[in-house]
Each structure stands twice: as C-alpha cells, then as structure tokens.
Chain A
Amino acid sequence: MSILVNLALGLIFGVGLVVSGMSDPAKVLNFLDLAGSFDPSLAFVMGGAVLVTFIGYRLAWRRHTPLLAPRFRVPSRTDIDARLILGPALFGIGWGLGGFCPGPALTSLGLGAAGTLVFVPAMLAGMWAARRLASD
C-alpha cells in the first residue's frame, strides 16, 4: 500500500514539476537572472505550492495520526547553525550553475539529456559525501 501511495505521490510531484516548467533548467536560470532575461514564472510555482501546502498541512494535522504511519514526523529544530548557512549557500551556487535542484534533475532522467546524465550521478555522489561526513 505504502509503495503504491509513494509511487503516486512521486508521479503527482513530477507532473507538477513538468507542468510548472520547473523541470526546464533554462526557465530556472532565467528566473535567477534578475538583471537579464528574467522569467518570474517560478515565483508562481512557489506561490501555488506553498499555498496548497500551508492549508493542506493544517487540515492533515487535525488527525491524530497519519493514515499509514504511527505518528507525524515533522522537524522540530529551530536553531540556526553554520551548516544551515553553508549547505544552502553551496546548494544555491550549484542551482545557479546548472539550473537543476534535486527533484527536477531526477524527473529529467528519462528525458535523457546529456547534461542530466552527468548531473545526477554527481549529485548522488555529493549527497553520499555529505551523509558520510555528517555521520563521522
């Protein structure tokens, strides 16, 4: 059951990335190019996603437990540490270089662009390195 639900959720998420244009690095890079060929579309992606999530989360949390898990597991940390600055700073540089963040990169795999096929293994290597370093 959980596997089918997750498959469906991945599909919905991926269709959202494609429909919104977020899966096209050219659109992402133009969003980030305030001083040049600025395309504000991605602000609308964030707006739609945050609006639905903001309302939907509060409806979901009216339940005592999730439908398929024993309890809600929401991050509870509120401290701002160096990792919270360094990690996103590096992530943003990579995002600005390639126009891909993790979701769109994975969604693009099946489209087979050469750039995607080198980006995704490098991204997984970076993730692995961070997990390795964090667990030391």
Chain B
Amino acid sequence: MTEFTPVASFVGGMLIGLSAVLMMLFEGRIAGISGIASRLLPPYREGAENGSAFAGRLAFVAGLVAAPLLVGTVAGVPVIQTVSSNAGLMIAAGLLVGFGSVWGGGCTSGHGVCGIARLSPRSLVATGVFMATGFLTVFVLRHVIGG
C-alpha cells in the first residue's frame, strides 16, 4: 500500500504544469520529456538541430536529475521511492518505455499533460491507450500471474 496524498500530489502536479507553461512562454515548446531526452541521442537531423537547443535540453535534464537532491538537502525531506531491483523486468520496462514513447510521439508529459491541455485529439487517443495498457499490465502481473 502507498499513502493517498491528494494535496501533495495536486501541488506537485501544479509545479509540473508551471514548468510546462514557462517552457511555452520562454521557448515556445511543449515540455515533453521523451522528446527532450531522445533528441539528445543520435541520429541528428541536418539543419533541425543547433547547439543552443541541444544545450538547453541537456540543461533541462540536468535540472530534472538535480531536483530530488535539492528537495533532499535544501528542504531536508528524504525522498522515498521503491524501485524494483529485478534487472530483467526493469530492462524490458525501460526498452518498452523508451521505444514506445518516441514511436508514439510523446509520453505522460507531452501527450498526457501538454497534449490534453491543448485538447489535441492525438494526445487524447495516446493517453487513453497508454493508460489502458498500463492498467492491463498491472492487472495481469498482480492478479493473473501473481494472483
């Protein structure tokens, strides 16, 4: 069981939204993490890339990585998480998340938050599909195989 945290979750969600809004205001772009991370990887398209856009994405990822350390040291709140240590499972999960998010043009942030806020039909479909397969996967793992 995990504790139900409606207030912290809503406030945290608003911070995610604030970041997405400021990304639009400053850079004119969607704050999609799979897009930001994957465009740091090859292949690099001619002309579509410039050094400062690349550096900006790298800086965004650096901020993401630094965030829990900031919360832990400055606010003094220990960051609690439970991550499976089953290497085979986590490798399969990582491959699927990485491939699927880029193949579908977005993940929880790009489609789920920014896309729904834009009322994009593509993002509404994508979010419905990944929520459905997410629910189904946990159901099968915990109640069919594990049950």
Q: Count B-side interface residues using an 8 Å CB cutoff.
A: 113
Contact with A along B1-40 (1 / 0, CB 8 A): 1111111111111111111111111111111011001100
Which B-chain residue is minimally distant from A67 (CB atoms)?
B26
Q: How many A-B residue pairs have CB under 8 A?
A: 501
Do residues B129 and A85 form an inter-chain contact, with CB atoms below 8 A? yes
Do residues B90 and A119 form an inter-chain contact, with CB atoms below 8 A? yes
Do residues B103 and A111 form an inter-chain contact, with CB atoms below 8 A? no
Do residues A19 and B139 form an inter-chain contact, with CB atoms below 8 A? no
Contact with B along A4-33 (1 / 0, CB 8 A): 111111111111111111111111011011
Shortest distance from the beta carbon of A125 to any chain B beta carbon, whole Å: 6
How many angstroms from the CA of A131 to the CA of B39 in the assembled complex? Answer: 9
Do residues A48 and B9 form an inter-chain contact, with CB atoms below 8 A? yes
Do residues B81 and A72 form an inter-chain contact, with CB atoms below 8 A? no
Q: Can you offer 15 A-B residue contacts whose CB atoms are under 8 A?
A: A9-B63, A30-B2, A32-B134, A54-B117, A80-B125, A95-B130, A97-B89, A97-B93, A100-B93, A120-B94, A122-B91, A122-B93, A123-B95, A131-B42, A134-B102
